[in-house]
Structure 1
């Protein structure tokens, strides 16, 4: 663990990591006493970590139930995609030719996603797919945007968890991520931007349909 971080920071990071990894799902309770035992931390430290997750829009306090992982709605989806368009399209349009390490990071995420698909671990497919998009935002070379987008990714993961059939939901995107990487690697920024634009439009449309259907049930 990073020694420069306080214990509350470290616990916040781990819990956010559990959300991004799909181990903490919308509606799950975060029980203070369990976390005190799990992290060998004081109640105040746990409260501070939970408070931060709340500020990041990842948890909420429910009366008589305590802190729960947040369920996101259609308005959240629209807002998340507004942010994605701003950051991911800007990252591509402002990018310089891909450096080898940047390309390698993207390929690692894509290969990890493909391996997860082969073993039908759809949750991991989603996590590695999101990592690919974090590397796209990484092209802006801004630690502030990276930190901000990590939080966006955690919220997106909570949105993905709402898909009733994660296999069907995750399956189509991998080939499109690979195509975006290939266009960037070839130096075709315009093509990569167009492909990303279409990707985000289609992804938002599919998620909006999912939420619309869910709200009718």
Structure 2
């Protein structure tokens, strides 16, 4: 059974997509009046959408300023990587041979990352790399995990936006994503899991290091 989304849910999903796409950055105010006009929605609907984003850890209310896109704390970043290790490593460990649709979606994400890197669009590089990791979790074919992980990568996107040098921060990951994909395509789950584990260790270390310069 397919459940139809309310307008508030649709708006929340669009705003989350804007965060994942790097179009809404930490500290940006989400002004009710502007959103009412943009989405042709009532204030109550907009408030409901913003409340949902707050529940997902993407926004917070600041007195005298209103609702703003959040800046995450160090401990929250550590927790995000606990979740990533749990879901991504489990997805690899229990995966079967890549189905054609799974392989195609992973390859599409890598191709999009490659194109963004050639254009030196580092914000898009980050976005498409996260999409690749969504496809990793998608190997479990669990809509509940897919929805939960979409919230996780939106929070990760807010962390990556804090990098003072996006090119330097994003440059290493494309080749490592491609390596993981190649190993999965070969059916070498142990090697893919090991590559992912090292990837997440390095990504967490660099993400936490961003707080040393803030």
TM superposition score category, shorter chain reference: over 0.9
State how 1:96-111 maps to structure 2 within 5 Å.
96-111=96-111
Q: Give the secondary structure class of the aligned counterpart of 2:22.
A: coil
Which residue is equivalent to 1:211?
211
**Paired residue for 1:142?**
142
Q: Which residue of 2 aligns with 1:67?
A: 67
Gap regions ≥5 residues in structure 2? none
In the TM superposition, what are the counterparts of 1:33-112 in structure 2 within 5 Å? 33-112=33-112
**Cα deviation code 1:52-106 (max 9, x no counterpart):** 0000000000000000000011111100000000000000000001111111100
* 1:194 has 2:194 as partner: yes
- Tell me which residue corresponds to 1:130: 130
- Separation (CA, whole Å) in 2 of partners of 1:19 and 1:51: 15
Structure 2 residue aligned with 1:168: 168
Please list, as runs of the form range in 1=range in 2, the aligned pairs for 1:25-36 lying within 5 A after superposition.
25-36=25-36
CA distance in 2, matches of 1:3, 1:22: 28
Root mean square deviation, CA, Å: 1.1
Q: Distance in 2 between matches of 1:3 and 1:37?
A: 27
What is the CA–CA distance in structure 2 between the aligned matches of 1:61 and 1:210, rounded to whole Å? 24
The count of aligned residue pairs is 213
* TM-score, length basis structure 2: 0.98
C-alpha distance in structure 2 between counterparts of 1:129 and 1:135, whole Å: 10
SS at match of 1:22: coil
Q: Where does residue 158 of structure 1 map in the other structure?
A: 158
* Distance in 2 separating the partners of 1:12 and 1:72: 19
After superposition, the C-alpha distances for 1:32-68 in whole angstroms (9 at most, x for unaligned) are: 0000011010000000000000000000000000000
CA deviation map 1:163-204 (0-9, x unaligned): 111111001000000000000000100000000000000000
Measure, in 1, the Cα distance between the counterparts of 2:110 and 2:152: 20
Task: Report the CA distance between 1:3 and its aligned residue.
Answer: 9.2
Normalised TM-score (structure 1): 0.97
In structure 2, C-alpha distance between the alignment counterparts of 1:76 and 1:164, rounded to whole Å: 20
After TM superposition, give the deviation of residue 210 of structure 1 in Å: 1.4
- Give the deviation of 1:112 after TM superposition: 0.3
